[in-house]
Structure 1
Amino acid sequence: MAMDAEQSITEGFKALSAGRPQAALEAVDAIDADSYPRASLLAGHAHKALGQHAAAEFAYRALTQKPDRRHSATGWWSLAGLKTAQFSAADAARLDSLINGDEQDGYLGLLHMTRAEIWHQAGMPDMAFAHLKAGNDLIAAARPFQGEAYRAFIDELLTVEPFALESQVAQSANPIFIIGQPRSGTTLVEQILASHPEVDATDELSFMGHRGADLQRDGGYTAALQSNDGSRWATYQQQYLDIVLPYCEKGGTYFLDKTPENFLHVPLILKILPNARFVHVIRDPLDNIVSQYRHFFPEGREYSNSLEGLVFYWRGYLMLMRHWSALFPDRLHHLHYSQLVTAPQDEIADLLTFCGLSRAQECFSPHETQRPVMTPSAAQVRQPINAAGVDSGLAYGGGLKDWLKDIGQLKEVSARLFGKG
């Protein structure tokens, strides 16, 4: 029975990763969550993706009661990441007790991050920041950011020269890649476009990043981009479309890939998918850096666990987006988050025009669209478009005082390259 339960949970996580949260719930429906804590975690994630916030909170709270620190800490952070859960004084006291224990590890980092969310809800950003720093420092120690490798990759990509977009590969589909920084509004843009009757949404697909790593190992990323080996690009295209196809319930003529890090792979994507368009979502650097620093990413994005790493990552991102904008200006649409949420009618109309889509009314009320949302912003995109996130980083200025000059420079460069938001 234990093996069957573990197998069902594993299959459930696979279903969730494939964008099928209902199938994930069915996989663990008959499993005793008290005996198998991962079933509670899976149920919470699946309910969250479906917009069933009360059920998600129930599952996550069950996980917080587990004696195993790994499970309880994951439950606490998942509860905080839900963004709809309201914490009580008893919750705060319980977290303080756990934080003040003897164990110093990455799971303690998650507890600090959750305690920061409680202080944030209470309107006390300075207290929140103290826990954010403590939590991020612990997590960064457990999984450090490889900054030198990132900078070397950026430097290599900056040597990419123009090449003909008429790839050796034929293509009938119209992929739309949503790129930028995590926590910049990419999920909102995805929700807007996925509301269109002709557009299918996928997920944050890792395919392009993995193929880029393959090319780097096999003789160099940029050298491969200069190649006209049509068979390689055709193979990659078919592999990618095979991943996308199960998501396409509307026909797949237009589909979305909302992987922010694909800003690193614009020329590779154009080699594989010559019809690709890119929507580059830009958020104010201060707001974005604070938002990322307040969030725990379970896989990758190690730079987000330090302010130094965030500023460093932003610098490389701006350099590269300037380069791609010069090489492929007709394939990039720069969309400011602040303009989108303050003047949505105009911005959405321009977005649809760039994507070659008709002006579907559903796109102007995306919160009404019922679909699974697999990213941390699932709760926010189910609300009417609003400007609550604009200038949200200002409250944390006290904690960021040593970095405000650097962040201000990022804002100046971003405005110079892409206009003011």
Structure 2
Amino acid sequence: MTEFEPSSADVEKQVFATERLWPERSGDTPLIVVGLPRSGTSFLSHALSQLPDYYVFDDLYLITQSAARRAGDAVLSAAQLDKLLYFLGWQIRARHRFGSYAIPAVEDTRAEDLNNALRKSFLKRPGTALDLQAEWLLRLAIAKGARNWGFKMPKAFLQAPRLFAAYENVQLIFMMRQPEDVLASYKNMPNDPTGDGDPRRYHPLVYALYWRLAARSFERLSQRFPDKTHLVRFHEFVADPLAQTNNLATQIRTLPAQQITKPPNPNSSYRDKGTKAAHKPLTGLEARIVRYICGREMEALGFDTRPLPQLALSDIADLVRNTAVWLSFHVGEAFARVQKR
């Protein structure tokens, strides 16, 4: 394992090349960080980007965008390519303007230059949306001085077989957090439209089922692909980010990080200090819903089965209120989608 140290001229040439680089010039071990929102996946992506030979993009949903354009696994048309490149260009601009984690080394003023280079390379040698994703991420990695790339997409575990087929030796890293803490964090997140989530999406039943789905996916995939599936527990990671990151580095056979720096403005699921609301626990009823749905998987993945808080009559009112807010939010979103058609 040797560190990749290209010259600045070589970096410029490769990042803005008009020929495709992936997979011939890529490192051979891409990473995908998966899990649930409010589980520290952004900070894990940020930490993995501090491995000398990796760049891991925080929150990339090109798979979702390509599905919306019915691209599937077919070769992209010129129109589909342009729409996906427009999306990718704004990912770079948004990270520089609003992001905190793993900011790309390609400046936002060069986003259009990168798009033009990618457009030319894919018109010469067409490819799929997953090819475009790998090509874009590889160039961001090269800009950082690395060869290996990765991205975070919490629900990408639902498409694991497709990703394993598309990217040889890809490593899936599950970042899992105590389910009661995930739900409490989501329920009590700041109600800020420009923030990193929307508490109106919260419902204890929905997110307990989501946590169980992720846990079961890890169990199934770790049996089927034991050398490609890894588990990081949130409480262990935040206790010693450097040790946990370098443990992963050993597993994927890459150079260790020398230190892990925290971003200057972490999102509200990971802060050293927070408001009382951010640390407010679930009600007794919510905690019992979580335990009933997730209990077996919690034990299997090494999470605590904490003493349950007492039930209170106010728990029922709280659940009814959350259900009404959740229904109203999702009905409103569905209506807005219909109006856009």
Normalised by the size of structure 1, how large is the TM-score?
0.45
Q: In 1, distance between residues paired with 2:258 and 2:237?
A: 16
**RCO comparison, higher one (Cα < 8 Å, 6+):** 2
- Per-residue Cα deviation, 1:178-208 (whole angstroms, up to 9, x for no partner): 1101110111211211122322232311123
- Per-residue Cα deviation, 1:264-301 (whole angstroms, up to 9, x for no partner): 11111111111211111110000001112233696998
One of 282, 287, 290 as aligned partner of 1:407: 290
- Per-residue Cα deviation, 1:7-32 (whole angstroms, up to 9, x for no partner): xxxxxxxxxxxxxxxxxxxxxxxxxx
Can you give the 5+ residue segments of structure 1 that lack an aligned partner in the other structure? 1-168, 219-232
Q: In 1, distance between residues paired with 2:223 and 2:132?
A: 29
8 Å CA contact retained: 1:202, 1:257: yes
SS at match of 1:330: coil
Higher helix share: 1
Corresponding residue number in structure 1 for 2:38: 183
Pairing of 1:318-333 with structure 2 (within 5 A): 318-333=215-230
The 3 A distance-change label for structure 1 pair 188 and 252 is same
Q: In 2, distance between residues paired with 1:351 and 1:236?
A: 28
Corresponding residue number in structure 1 for 2:245: 348
Q: Which amino acid aligns with 1:366?
A: T
Q: Which amino acid aligns with 2:286?
A: W
Question: Is structure 2 residue 286 aligned with structure 1 residue 396?
Answer: no
8 Å CA contact retained: 1:304, 1:310: no
8 Å CA contact retained: 2:178, 2:303: no
Pairing of 1:57-72 with structure 2 (within 5 A): none
Shift of 1:394: 6.9
Q: In 1, distance between residues paired with 2:255 and 2:151?
A: 19
Can you give the 5+ residue segments of structure 2 that lack an aligned partner in the other structure? 1-22, 75-125, 305-341
Q: In 2, distance between residues paired with 1:318 and 1:327?
A: 14
- Per-residue Cα deviation, 1:290-316 (whole angstroms, up to 9, x for no partner): 112233696998983322322232233
The 3 A distance-change label for structure 1 pair 288 and 311 is same
8 Å CA contact retained: 1:286, 1:393: no
Q: Which amino acid aligns with 1:265?
A: Q
- Per-residue Cα deviation, 1:55-75 (whole angstroms, up to 9, x for no partner): xxxxxxxxxxxxxxxxxxxxx
8 Å CA contact retained: 1:209, 1:262: no
Q: In 1, distance between residues paired with 2:180 and 2:54?
A: 32
Pairing of 1:99-118 with structure 2 (within 5 A): none
CA RMSD, 1 decimal: 3.7
SS at match of 1:182: coil
One of 131, 153, 165 as aligned partner of 1:259: 153
> Alignment length, in residue pairs?
224
Shift of 1:259: 1.2
Shift of 1:409: 3.5
One of 366, 391, 396 as aligned partner of 2:261: 366
Corresponding residue number in structure 1 for 2:300: 417
Corresponding residue number in structure 2 for 1:207: 62
Q: Which amino acid aligns with 1:240?
A: Q
Q: Which amino acid aligns with 2:220?
A: H
Q: In 2, distance between residues paired with 1:281 and 1:198?
A: 21
Corresponding residue number in structure 1 for 2:181: 287
Corresponding residue number in structure 2 for 1:132: none
8 Å CA contact retained: 1:199, 1:255: yes
Pairing of 1:15-164 with structure 2 (within 5 A): none
- Per-residue Cα deviation, 1:52-95 (whole angstroms, up to 9, x for no partner): xxxxxxxxxxxxxxxxxxxxxxxxxxxxxxxxxxxxxxxxxxxx
8 Å CA contact retained: 1:200, 1:250: yes
Q: In 2, distance between residues paired with 1:353 and 1:183?
A: 26
- Per-residue Cα deviation, 1:157-185 (whole angstroms, up to 9, x for no partner): xxxxxxxxxxxx88843321111011101
8 Å CA contact retained: 1:288, 1:393: no
Corresponding residue number in structure 1 for 2:90: none
Question: Is structure 2 residue 93 aligned with structure 1 residue 238?
Answer: no
Corresponding residue number in structure 1 for 2:87: none
Corresponding residue number in structure 2 for 1:222: none
Q: Which amino acid aligns with 2:280?
A: A
Shift of 1:360: 2.4
